[in-house]
Structure 1
Amino acid sequence: MRNFLAHKGRMALSAVAVLLSVAFVCGTLVFTDTMNTTFDKLFAVSSADVTVAPKGADAEEDAQNGVPESLPAATLEKVRSAEGVAAAEGAVVSMNVTVVDADNDNVGATNGAPTLAGNWTRNDLRSMEITSGHAPRGPTEAMVDADTADKHDLKIGDELRTISQTGDFRSRIVGIATFTVTNPGASVVYFDTATAQRELLGATDRFSQVNITAEAGVSDARLKRNVTATLGGAYKVQTAKEASDEGRADVGEFMDVIKYAMLGFAGIAFLVGIFLIINTFSMLVAQRTREIGLMRAIGSSRKQVNRSVLLEALLLGVVGSVLGVAAGVGIAIGLMKLMSAAGMNLSTDDLTVKAATPVAGLVLGVVVTVLAAYLPARRAGKVSPMAALRDAGTPADGKAGRVRALIGLVLTAAGGAALYAAGTADKASDGSLMLGAGVVLTLIGFVVIGPLLAGAVVRVISAVLLRAFGPVGRMAERNALRNPRRTGATGAALMIGLALVACLSVVGSSMVASATSELDKSVGADFIVQGNQRIVPGAEKAMRDTPGLAHVTGYKEVDATLTSPDGEKDTDGVTAADPTYAEDLRRPTTAGDLADAYGTDAMAVGSDYATAHGVRVGDTLTVAFKGGRTAKLKVAAITDDDTAIDQGARYLSLTTLRKYLPADQIPPNSIMFAKAEEGQQDQAYAALKKSLDAYPQYQVRDQTDYKQELKDQIGQMLNMVYGLLALAIIVAVLGVVNTLALSVVERTREIGLMRAIGLSRRQLRRMIRLESVVIALFGALLGLGLGMGWGTTAHKLLALEGLNVLDIPWPTILAVFAGSAFVGLFAALVPAFRAGRMNVLNAIATE
């Protein structure tokens, strides 16, 4: 306790590292738990006692034809006749809609949450109340939720236009309903029942589902049994709990991805923090060598010395973890505010701090801190009393250093072999396992071998950068080399974060370069039209009527089951397109001609499928269309799957599709392509944009636009990852600061002597800054080199999926390297300032 309180300042940065790591873990858990609580409440409140829906219906997906799955309205009367039913009503709901205001601006959700359109029912009163106006009563009336009205400045009397697969129609807002529970961000528009049936389902005698209320004293389970007995097994019947659990499971999968990804970055921060703690306690033990020797001389055992150091670590872990748990709640609230600003409403009333969260934070922070301090504690226990009294310091075990170097070399070599195996793998799935092993082994190997690398790398960096600073530069070099183990550990902390940055930069840049190259090579279309919904008939007609276009190509994804000649079934479906798609996408073939696949009763398959099932040109495949008939189609071409575009697609013509699938089951286009007439590209581009102005849910892009958007999307993803990695880099910077600060204290007498023989304050500060820069650049050089190796290997696996271009983003790599030098300068500001303020005589007199 005395030692801990005597070195509060020296412990502070280590405590901050623990605090940040624990805060990130606890913040992630609180944030995701709060999200789950929000959705749980919404699902629990909004679910009817029992719900009847079409069998196999998915609440998040419409039917193949783009219209919501539905059931006959006659089902409602059957349900009402079941025993235990107090009330039943038909509901209509669609998620495949776009709602725009009078200015043609999309008023739907833009944050990934759905836009829901349907009829207003009594069941909606479970989660909403009408706070202004009234519910819709006729074909020209609509009601919106209050959050959507606030976001888009909508008020009663404003006009809305709703676009769906069955057409589009206009209405005026006559009411505003407010959620009585937290709305996670969905936009909701209500119509009267007849209008919703006609405009959203395309039929006035259909419902999406039937909501049932139980009579008093009738349990949901019993009501479900009664309804099922009445209807038979033709429908999906769920209790409120089952419906809530299903919705919770769907959201839970998404939330788990977010949670574990963020916890992964928190784990990286913890790993970096370990180096900081090891360095801190190693230096504190070295500075107390004489004190430890005196304790040993008057009877302290090795175990007692070891235990005293571990108890200091325990105190550090407890303090940092307690503060981290509190900071984690603050981080969670900050994330909620950020999400609310982005359109996903999260109320602090739902803030969920489970008992397991602070326990996990405390246990994790304390355990990691104590484990990190174990090696320095063990080293302290080995101090010989006589050696310590002579101030010989902690024992330097040359044999241990050689063993460590050997282990590091073996691990690095094994990791390099794994990366080589990954880079030469024939299948991405096999290579990914080897890539993971190679990343882990090389990372551990570099950490273990860090002291050996420090000697060589620091000398090279110093020869290039420090020679110009004369004697001050040489002293900075010697200081960095004085304790290679310490320099290696400090640099390794920075190495980890920068290795991941370099790896992801290489992968992201290669993906963009590969996709761009593939577009240039394979895509013959001038324009691409797509959105977050399948293309409605009105938009398709507007596109086909646009002047200046040589042709327009539709592209439909169709549910079907293929049976190959070897009897194997495949449910991945087929792609139906206009014959001009063979011009719009120049897919090379390994056999046959792709244009022939657009004939009647013909198709093309990918080379991977053909190889796996022994399919050749001329063979016949059995294709069972969902909702249609079964066809026998002749294989006219085998396309090369060495591509990133449409890899594995099975093509057939729209003529063939119409022959075997009823018109009302044919899916809308998921994407469309167009080719401009010769010399009319600019005019056609402007005309196509104008034609689709009325459909803001779709984007018109030429190839330049498409490439830029792809680059922007990957850039946004990388920026988000870099933001999460910033925590690990911040902790690494704290490690450099702490190492320098403790090093200054350790060299107090030496600094006093150098000042006494003429070293100025400015030279002293420069020496410490240069030492910091060298350590930072050492970590950056290792990290960037390691990361580029990982990224290059990962690209080899991406090449198996058609992304063949390797692109090293040298501007990013050089910017990160230069930025590391600034990190070093920043980290040295406080230690250098404190060193410059030392009193010369007092420093010389320091023991």
Structure 2
Amino acid sequence: MFKATWKSLLSRKLRLLLSGMAVVLGVMAVSSALILTDSLSASFDDMFRTVNANVDVQVSGVSAGGENGSRPEPLPASAVERVRAVSGVASAVGDVSADGARVVGRNGKVIVTQGPPRLGMAWRDGGGIAQMRTGTGPKADDQVAINALLAKQGPFAVGDRIEVLTLAAKRSFTVSGVFGMTGNRDSLGGETVVAFTEPVAQRLMLGKEGVYSSIDVRAAAGVTPAVVKANVAAALGSSGVVRTSAEVAKAQAKDVQQFLTIFQNFLLGFAAVTLFVGIFLILNTFSILVAQRTRELALLRSLGAGRGQVIRSVLVEALVVGVVASTLGLFAGYGVALLLKQMLFSSLADATLGFTGSAVAASYLVGVLVTLVAAVVPALRASRVAPIAALRDAATADKSLVKVTLVGGILGAVGAGGVGWALFGSLKGNAIWGVLLTGVLLTFIGVALLTPSVARPTVGVIGRLFSWSLPGKLGRRNSARNPRRTANTAAALMIGLALITGVSVLAASIQASMSKVFTRDLRADLVIDRDSGDASYDASVIDKTRRMPGVAAAVGLYGDVTTDVTGKTVYVTGTDLAVAKDLFNLKVESGELRDLRHNEVVVGEEFAAKRGLGTGSSLRLRTSRAGEQTFVVVGVYAKQELLSEPLMSVADAEEYFQVPSPALGAVRLAPGADAVGIRKQIEALLVDSPEVNVASQADFIKQQTGQVDTLLNMLYALLALAVLIAILGIVNTLALSVLERTRELGMLRAVGMSRWSAMRMITVESVVISVFGALLGLAVGTGLGVAVVRALKGQGFDVLSVPWTRMLLFLGLSVVVGLFAAILPAIRAARVNVLQAISYE
């Protein structure tokens, strides 16, 4: 039996390879995600261990915004002296290092790092992991040393002038030296580093002199880091955060690990979609092969083969396909991981990728398991072939669709109910996503099982568009001949297009909702916007803009992160409320909206309701630069989408915020004012802030909504894998169908059908199946998208927008998919030898 199975497998290498391509693509997605993220995670862990190798204990300030907030408060110089005096401390050195030193490149644009920080630090000669390669450390306030990665990106050399943006506006320095890291690396993890003299670093990176971002502590001989940590913590109390070097490395790696985990789950999610679609391809392939081998299997049964042997025969074929496909997918995933690293993490050039244990194990486990699961139903069907079938030459009659329709209806109803429960029910947290994903999965399976019931009539209607010729009529009838096969083939394309359509509905609704909010609540003709979250501009820009002829009003917006008494993160805004209330359409709910005095705030009605605040209430916040402060609520404004957190005065923002400069701005012009001329004047004021630009209201709205398009295109690229598998499914089904109908094709050729007509017949069949799958996908995807938008109404989805033009484009592309998928099967049909086909057994 094993020999017969092996011979049967070798006789169908190409057909099984096509079905195995679905597994290859799915495993490729799984292995690439795990290889990339596991390797980068190990690289970052090594980097943080290296950074903290010369430190036993580290002291840092308390963050005003908690774990999700702004950078920690700087530590005063007196804290260094207090730590030095602690028992068990051999040395304590204040360190200045913070993210936000952005360098302007030769092209006038700020150099970006695609994730790694842009550090500004105080240079310290001797010790540490920095190794000077050329030049010296900075000796004067107008000098800086830069790391080798930044020197290459510039490019910059010793003696060059370099412009740096920090908490202050753009300043120019001379490069005094270029340094690398231990191990002859240009950087540790793709970060750029600018090293100033200590006083300059304190002013530009921390906001004032005489303060430090952290204190590096070395333990005395014979004293453990844990003991030193306890002693230092007792001496400082709540004024600092004390951790051992191992705890520091773990904390530093936490954010990176969280990002890599999110990125990994993102890729694995699409891998799951790819494999789910692939199940339909494999199921269809094995089902067709079993149907074509009815006489062969019946002969084996008549010679004594048991049902178990037949099942094992089919599953062995599936196992071989799964192992081979998993191996190919694993190596293809390594190539994709290299490509992703180059595209998304190019700054991590020193990070090496390898076949991690989890990637290898997951690849084979997933690939083999998916193939075996998809082959179970065909294997059971093969075991039911009766020995008497070997004596029959007639085709097997179609089975009733009642059972499969009933099961499909039940699963579809349960899935739809799960989606509704997740969206409209009282579930919370991760339970919502679990029920939602399960509901969507069951909905897809239910629709796939219901598809055979509607395949024949629907395909018949679609096929009439191509029935103006005999090949067209035959192609339409062929596509409706076996509704189960047509349904399984179309289901793969249905799932891919359903996801694409659902995402498109969500994206279009988000964009429409954002446009509505900005148009309604932003009453400004020009917006001063930023390209980077670190960017800001000088406060004098707003004052000078306000005095320009043709400007009716101008206001700046400061932003920072604080925490309330419960430790919850609170985002706060500083602005001139008397001007902002008109430019941002603020409506008073209670109290008054007026010029704010020292430690006065106004809050949104939702914020006030959650915290039980009202006019006259007190709000205590921990600020970035002044610690805990108590604010008096003087007014509550009605719900507003653009401004929904506490608003305080500009003077308070400049005193309390980490960055005492505005980040955004809004300008209203007088009637008949020259918008282009005023825009150019404002741009001239921002010449020292290259990350800040001026846009019209329409351009600003387009920029904000355009971010959704960027994400949408990424999703399209990933979901394209599912569509590619659907194309392979159509190719495989048609190729096997051509083989199955060899005698029929020979008879058609014998009675006068030309090769071109045979190709047209197969092409019509392919296009009909593709359009059928596309229509199902568009319908299911639109339904899911609309349901989500309706459920999230008031949570960023205020407008339902269905992208009809884009959906028509998808439908048109399905025709192209059908044409493309028909090429190889149509050529094969045209090459059928008439005499051999007529005598075909």
TM over 0.5: yes
CA contact (8 A) 1:510 1:795 kept: yes
Q: Which residue of 2 aligns with 1:555?
A: 557
Deviation at 1:78, TM superposition (A): 3.9
**Equivalent position SS for 2:798:** coil
Q: Which residue of 2 aligns with 1:645?
A: 642
| Separation in 2, partners of 1:58, 1:811 | 48
Cα separation, partners in 2 of 1:166 and 1:53, compared to 1, 3 Å? farther
Cα separation, partners in 2 of 1:216 and 1:600, compared to 1, 3 Å? closer
C-alpha distance after superposition, 1:277-312 (max 9, x if no partner): 111111111111111111111111111111100111
Q: Which residue of 2 aligns with 1:207?
A: 212
Q: Among residues 723, 748, 759, which one is paired with 1:765 in the alignment?
A: 759
Q: Are positions 1:572 and 2:576 aligned together?
A: no
Deviation at 1:714, TM superposition (A): 1.0
Deviation at 1:197, TM superposition (A): 2.5
Deviation at 1:27, TM superposition (A): 1.0
Deviation at 1:114, TM superposition (A): 1.9
Q: Which residue of 1 aligns with 2:269?
A: 264
Deviation at 1:330, TM superposition (A): 1.8
Q: Among residues 76, 99, 106, which one is paired with 2:80 in the alignment?
A: 76
Q: Which residue of 1 aligns with 2:619?
A: 623
CA contact (8 A) 2:32 2:336 kept: yes
Q: Are positions 1:440 and 2:445 aligned together?
A: no
| 5+ residue gaps, structure 1 | none
| Separation in 1, partners of 2:152, 2:278 | 45
Q: Which residue of 1 aligns with 2:709?
A: 715
Cα separation, partners in 2 of 1:368 and 1:61, compared to 1, 3 Å? closer
User: Aligned letter for 1:117?
Assistant: G
Q: Among residues 353, 356, 359, which one is paired with 1:354 in the alignment?
A: 356
What RMSD over aligned residues (CA atoms) do the two structures have, in Å? Answer: 3.1
| Separation in 1, partners of 2:807, 2:203 | 58
Q: Are positions 1:117 and 2:114 aligned together?
A: no
The percent identity for this pair of structures is 34
Q: Which residue of 2 aligns with 1:287?
A: 292
**Equivalent position SS for 2:58:** strand
C-alpha distance after superposition, 1:347-401 (max 9, x if no partner): 35x2232222211111111111011000000000001111343134557442xx2
Cα separation, partners in 2 of 1:612 and 1:49, compared to 1, 3 Å? closer
Q: Which residue of 2 aligns with 1:491?
A: 490
Q: Are positions 1:583 and 2:582 aligned together?
A: yes
| Separation in 1, partners of 2:303, 2:272 | 42
| Separation in 2, partners of 1:509, 1:437 | 25
Q: Which residue of 1 aligns with 2:325?
A: 320
CA contact (8 A) 2:728 2:821 kept: yes
**Equivalent position SS for 2:139:** coil
Q: Are positions 1:406 and 2:406 aligned together?
A: yes
Q: Are positions 1:814 and 2:818 aligned together?
A: no
| Separation in 2, partners of 1:324, 1:63 | 41
Q: Which residue of 1 aligns with 2:47?
A: 42
Between 381-390 and 203-212, report the one with greater CA deviation.
Answer: 203-212
Q: For 1:240-251, list aligned pairs within 5 A.
A: 240-251=245-256
Q: For 1:54-133, list aligned pairs within 5 A.
A: 54-57=60-63, 69-82=73-86, 85-100=89-104, 104-107=108-111, 109-121=112-124, 125-126=128-129, 128-133=130-135
Q: For 1:456-605, list aligned pairs within 5 A.
A: 456-463=457-464, 465-468=465-468, 470-531=469-530, 532-533=532-533, 536=536, 539-546=538-545, 547-548=548-549, 549-557=551-559, 572=570, 574-578=572-576, 579-588=578-587, 591-592=589-590, 595-596=593-594, 604-605=602-603
User: Aligned letter for 2:593?
Assistant: A
User: Aligned letter for 1:120?
Assistant: W
User: Aligned letter for 1:29?
Assistant: L
Cα separation, partners in 2 of 1:226 and 1:433, compared to 1, 3 Å? closer
Deviation at 1:235, TM superposition (A): 2.4
Deviation at 1:557, TM superposition (A): 4.0
Q: Are positions 1:829 and 2:813 aligned together?
A: no
Q: Are positions 1:191 and 2:196 aligned together?
A: yes
Q: Which residue of 1 aligns with 2:3?
A: none
| 5+ residue gaps, structure 2 | 1-5
Deviation at 1:701, TM superposition (A): 1.9
User: Aligned letter for 1:577?
Assistant: T
CA contact (8 A) 2:64 2:72 kept: no
| Separation in 2, partners of 1:637, 1:752 | 82
| Separation in 1, partners of 2:262, 2:328 | 27
**Equivalent position SS for 1:89:** strand
Cα separation, partners in 2 of 1:535 and 1:588, compared to 1, 3 Å? same
**Equivalent position SS for 1:804:** coil
CA contact (8 A) 1:197 1:206 kept: yes
| Separation in 1, partners of 2:659, 2:384 | 79
**Equivalent position SS for 2:538:** helix
C-alpha distance after superposition, 1:487-546 (max 9, x if no partner): 11110001111111111111111211221122222210222223224564x522133213
CA contact (8 A) 2:138 2:196 kept: yes
Q: Among residues 371, 385, 388, which one is paired with 1:386 in the alignment?
A: 388
User: Aligned letter for 2:668?
Assistant: K
| Separation in 1, partners of 2:265, 2:173 | 44
| Separation in 2, partners of 1:597, 1:77 | 43
**Equivalent position SS for 2:347:** coil
Between 602-611 and 72-81, report the one with greater CA deviation.
Answer: 602-611
User: Aligned letter for 2:620?
Assistant: A
Q: For 1:364-375, list aligned pairs within 5 A.
A: 364-375=366-377
Q: How many residues align?
A: 822
C-alpha distance after superposition, 1:428-475 (max 9, x if no partner): 989878755653342121111111121222122112x2122x221111
User: Aligned letter for 1:544?
Assistant: D
Cα separation, partners in 2 of 1:585 and 1:229, compared to 1, 3 Å? closer
CA contact (8 A) 1:60 1:95 kept: no
User: Aligned letter for 2:642?
Assistant: I
User: Aligned letter for 1:524?
Assistant: R
**Equivalent position SS for 1:620:** coil
Q: Are positions 1:309 and 2:307 aligned together?
A: no
C-alpha distance after superposition, 1:161-194 (max 9, x if no partner): 3333356543200111123446432211011223
Deviation at 1:410, TM superposition (A): 2.9
Deviation at 1:140, TM superposition (A): 1.7
Cα separation, partners in 2 of 1:654 and 1:90, compared to 1, 3 Å? closer
Deviation at 1:83, TM superposition (A): 5.2
User: Aligned letter for 1:484?
Assistant: P
User: Aligned letter for 1:623?
Assistant: L
**Equivalent position SS for 2:45:** helix
Deviation at 1:268, TM superposition (A): 0.5
**Equivalent position SS for 2:133:** strand
User: Aligned letter for 2:689?
Assistant: Y
CA contact (8 A) 1:35 1:346 kept: no
| Separation in 2, partners of 1:663, 1:729 | 53
